[in-house]
Amino acid sequence: MAHTYEFPRPALTVDCVVFGFDGTGLQVLLIRRGIEPFLGAWALPGGFVRMEEDLEDAARRELEEETSLRDVFLEQLRTFGTPGRDPRGRVVSVAWYALVRPDQHPAKGDTDASEAAWFPIGGLPGLAFDHDHILAAALERLRGKIRYQPVGFELLPRHFTLTQLQALYEAILGRPIDKRNFRKKLLSFDFLTPLDEFTSGAHRPARLHRFDRRKYDAAAKRGFLFDL
């Protein structure tokens, strides 16, 4: 038997903040809207949740439809529901964030996104809706996260130098880190494996490392205090 509900119901959307690291700086994936409202404006990937959809399924579907990204790390951020945030009516959005490597996920617009592109976090265009607020909240979450969980497996190449890992942390925090203290603290957590491989080129060779996935996942699960 069908039931009716006497009160107005808001629409529900999902929005996704996709962070990437190009080796020097933190980036975010944006789409250019191909429909109104905000036609032609840059925005976070996202869209309306279908009646039969789970929230995470909706977020993953929208990501794939609008940017071609699939099978990525995805974590729920929070809900945004300030009245007036969407000119189409009363719309509540559940935001998610993802961590990927831009070289493995080239930007490709589709469906109602006429274009998709990676932007440096310090050089973003104006964003549609309240997406600047959502992005700021996601960046704050990421900066907090690296203090109690390891971050890097999704953002760095399989083999990397400690300098690259430090550059990642500095890009997320937006400030320099003391090299000696960073390496001492990080190596104490025992989820990095030094390799008998080195970088090549004109500069002094640097040892490559990889994450021990088992120890990395255990550290991420139990958490730790990484005071930077």
Bridge partners, 120 (sequence order): 27
Phi and psi (nearest 5°) for 141? Answer: -65, -45
CB 66 within 8 A of CB 110: yes
Taking Cα atoms as reference points, which of 177, 57, 67 lies closest to residue 119? 67
- Write the pLDDT tens digit of every residue in 175-217: 999 999 999 988 888 889 999 999 987 778 999 999 998 988 8
Residue ranges covered by each domain of the chain: 11-145, 162-222
Q: Give pTM, 2 decimals.
A: 0.90
Q: Is 112 left (phi over 0), alpha (psi -120 to 50) or beta?
A: alpha
pLDDT-based confidence at residue 2 (cuts at 50, 70, 90): low
Active site residues: 115
- Write the pLDDT tens digit of every residue in 87-116: 999 999 999 999 998 888 888 776 667 799
Q: Which CATH class is domain 11-145?
A: alpha beta
- Write the pLDDT tens digit of every residue in 127-155: 999 999 999 999 999 999 888 888 888 89
Between CA 26 and CA 178 the distance in angstroms is: 19
Which CATH entry fits the domain spanning 162-222: 2.30.31.20, 1.10.1060.10, 3.30.10.20, 1.10.10.10?
1.10.10.10
- Write the pLDDT tens digit of every residue in 42-64: 999 999 999 999 999 999 999 99
Bridge partners, 119 (sequence order): 28
At 61 the three-state DSSP class reads helix
